[in-house]
Amino acid sequence: MSGAHAAHSHAGHDHGHDHSHGHELPFWRKYIFSVDHKVIGVQYTITSLLFLLFGFALMWVMRFQLAYPGQPIPLIGKMLGASLVDSTGVLIGNGYNAFGAMHGTIMVFLGIVPLAVGGFGNYVLPLQIGAPDMAFPRLNMMSYWVYLPGGLIMLASFFTRDGAAQSGWTSYPPLSVVNIGGQTWWLIGMVFLITSSLLGSVNFIVTTVQLRVKGLSFFRLPFFVWAQLVTSFLLLLAFPPLEAAAVMQLMDRVAGTSFFMPGGLIITDVVQNQYSGGGSPVLWQHLFWFLAHPEVYVLILPGMGIIAEVIANNTRKPLWGYKALVYSAIFLGFMSFIVWAHHMFMTGMGTTLSTFFQFTTMVISVPSIIILTCFIISLWGASIRYTVPMLFALSFLPMFAIGGLTGLPLGLTASDIHLHDTYYVIGHFHYVVAPGTIFAMFAGIYYWFPKVTGRTMSSLLGKIHWFFSFIFINGVFMPMFFQGMAGILRRQYDQSYQLHGASAQGLSLMASWSAWCLGLAQIPFIINFFYSAFAGKKVGNNPWEATTLEWSAPSPPPHGNFATVPVAQCGPYEYSVPGRKTDFLPQNPALEA
Partner 1 sequence: MMLLASDTRYGNWLPPQLSTHGDKIDHLIFVLHVFMAVLFFGWGVYFTYCLVKFRARTGHAATYEPVKGGASKLIEVAVIVFELIVLFALSMPVWADYKNKPPAASENPLTVHVHSKQFEWQFHYCGPDGQFGKTDPKLISTSNFIGLDENDPNSKDDLQFVNDCHLPTGRPIRMEIFARDVIHSLSIPTMRVKQDAIPGMRIPIWFTINKDATTANVSKGMVQEFPLARTTWYRIRHHVAAQDYKNKAGDIIVKAGDYLGNDLASGKEIIQKLRDAGNETVSLRPGNPLEIVCAQLCGNNHYTMKAQLKTLTADEFEAWQAEEIKKKNTELEVDF
Within residues 241-300, the interface with partner 1 by CB under 8 A covers: 262-269, 271, 277, 280-282
Give 81 or 381: the residue with its C-beta nearer to partner 1: 381
Q: According to CB under 8 A, which one of 496, 532, 542, 555 is a site residue for partner 1?
A: 496
Interface residue with partner 1, options 402, 457, 461, 568 (CB under 8 A): 402
Q: DSSP label at 422?
A: B
Pairing of strands 455-456, 537-538: antiparallel
What is residue 489's three-state secondary structure?
strand
Cis-peptide into 281, omega within 30 deg: no
Rounded to the nearest whole angstrom, what is the least distance from the CB of residue 507 to partner 1 in the complex? Answer: 6
**What are the φ and ψ backbone dihedral angles of 501, each rounded to 5 degrees?**
-70, -40
Should residue 4 be labelled a site residue for partner 1 when binding is judged by CB under 8 A? no
Q: Say how many Å lie between the first and final Cα of the chain, rounded.
A: 26
| Shortest distance, position 381 Cβ to partner 1, whole Å | 4
Binding mask 513-542 for partner 1 (x = CB under 8 A): ------------------------------
DSSP code string of 509-543: HHHHHHHHHHHHTTHHHHHHHHHHHHHSEE--S-T
Residue 20 or 355: the one with the smaller Cβ distance to partner 1 is 355
User: Residue 90 CB, nearest distance to partner 1 (Å)?
Assistant: 11
Whose CA is closest to 436, among 487, 385, 401?
401
Closest C-alpha to 569, from 586, 591, 553, 583: 586
User: DSSP letters along 140-205, please?
Assistant: HHHHHHHHHHHHHHHHHGGGSTT-B--STTTT-TTHHHH--SBHHHHHHHHHHHHHHHHHHHHHHH
- Cβ atoms within 10 A of the Cβ of 349, count? 16
* CB closer to partner 1 out of 104 and 151: 104
Minimum gap (Å) between residue 430 Cβ and partner 1: 17
DSSP string, 73-110: PTTTGGGS-TTTB-TTSPBPHHHHHHHHHHHHHIIIII
How far apart, in whole angstroms, are the C-alpha atoms of residue 527 and residue 533? 10
Nearer to partner 1, 15 or 342 (CB): 342
Stretch in the footprint of partner 1 (CB under 8 A) among 46-54, 133-141, 223-231, 406-414 = 406-414
Q: Is the distance from CB of 179 to CB of 108 less than 8 angstroms?
A: no
Q: Which is nearer to partner 1, 255 or 266 (CB)?
A: 266
Q: What are phi and psi of 236, to 5 degrees?
A: -65, -40
Site for partner 1 in 382-401 (CB under 8 A): 382-386, 394, 397-398, 401
In the set 256, 381, 540, 554, which binds partner 1 (CB under 8 A)? 381
Residue (of 449, 445, 431) closest to 395 by Cα position:
431
> Which of 1, 20, 70, 218 is in the footprint of partner 1 by CB under 8 A?
70
Residues 6+ apart with CB under 8 A from 28: none
Choose one: 148-156, 186-194, 358-366, 450-458; the region binding partner 1 (CB under 8 A). 358-366
Residue with smaller CB distance to partner 1, 132 or 222: 222
Which residue's CB is nearer to partner 1, number 318 or number 558? 318
Residue in 266, 411, 235 with CA at minimum distance from that of residue 337:
235
Using the minimum distance from each CB to partner 1, give the nearer residue, 251 or 577: 577
Query: Toward partner 1, which CB reaches closer, 105 or 208?
Result: 105
**Out of 79, 152, 408, 526, the residue judged to bind partner 1 by CB under 8 A:** 408
Q: Does 74 bind partner 1 (CB under 8 A)?
A: no
- By CB under 8 A, residue 545 contacts partner 1: no
Residue (12 or 182) nearer to partner 1, CB: 182
Q: Which of residues 161-220 bind partner 1 (CB under 8 A)?
A: 166-168, 172, 174-175, 178-179
Least separation in angstroms between CB 54 and partner 1 = 22
Least distance CB 346 / partner 1 (angstroms): 5
14 vs 162, beta carbon nearer partner 1: 162
Instruction: Kindly state the smallest distance separating residue 101's Cβ from partner 1, in Å.
Output: 9
Calpha distance 462→459 (Å, rounded): 5
Other residues' Cβ atoms within 10 Å of the Cβ of residue 107: 25
How remote is the C-alpha of 496 from its chain's centroid?
A: 32
Q: DSSP letter at 342?
A: G
Q: What is the DSSP letter of 556?
A: S
The answer to whether residue 152 forms part of the interface with partner 1 (CB under 8 A) is no
State in angstroms the smallest separation of the CB of 171 from partner 1. Answer: 10
CB of 151 vs partner 1, minimal distance in Å: 24
User: Measuring CA to CA, which residue among 129, 149, 143 is closest to residue 236?
Assistant: 143
Confirm or reject binding of residue 47 to partner 1 (CB under 8 A).
Answer: no
Scan residues 86-115 and list those touching partner 1 (CB under 8 A): 92-94, 97
Distance between CA atoms of residues 175 and 173, nearest Å: 5
Of 29-37, 183-191, 420-428, 532-540: span binding partner 1 (CB under 8 A):
420-428
- Residue pair 458/511 in contact by the 8 Å Cβ criterion: no
Q: Which ranges constitute the DSSP H helices of 406-504?
A: 408-411, 413-419, 423-432, 439-453, 459-485, 499-503
Binding to partner 1 by residue 65, rule CB under 8 A?
A: no
Q: Is 570 in the site for partner 1 (CB under 8 A)?
A: no
Residues 566, 581 contacting (CB under 8 angstroms) = no
Contact string (CB under 8 A) for partner 1, positions 463-492, x = contact? -------------------xx-xxx-xxxx
x-or-dash string of contact with partner 1, 315-354, rule CB under 8 A: xxxx-xx------------------------xxx-xx--x
Number of residues that bind partner 1 (CB under 8 A): 106
Shortest separation between residue 387's beta carbon and partner 1, angstroms: 10
Among 160, 184, 365, 569, indicate the residue that binds partner 1 (CB under 8 A).
Answer: 365
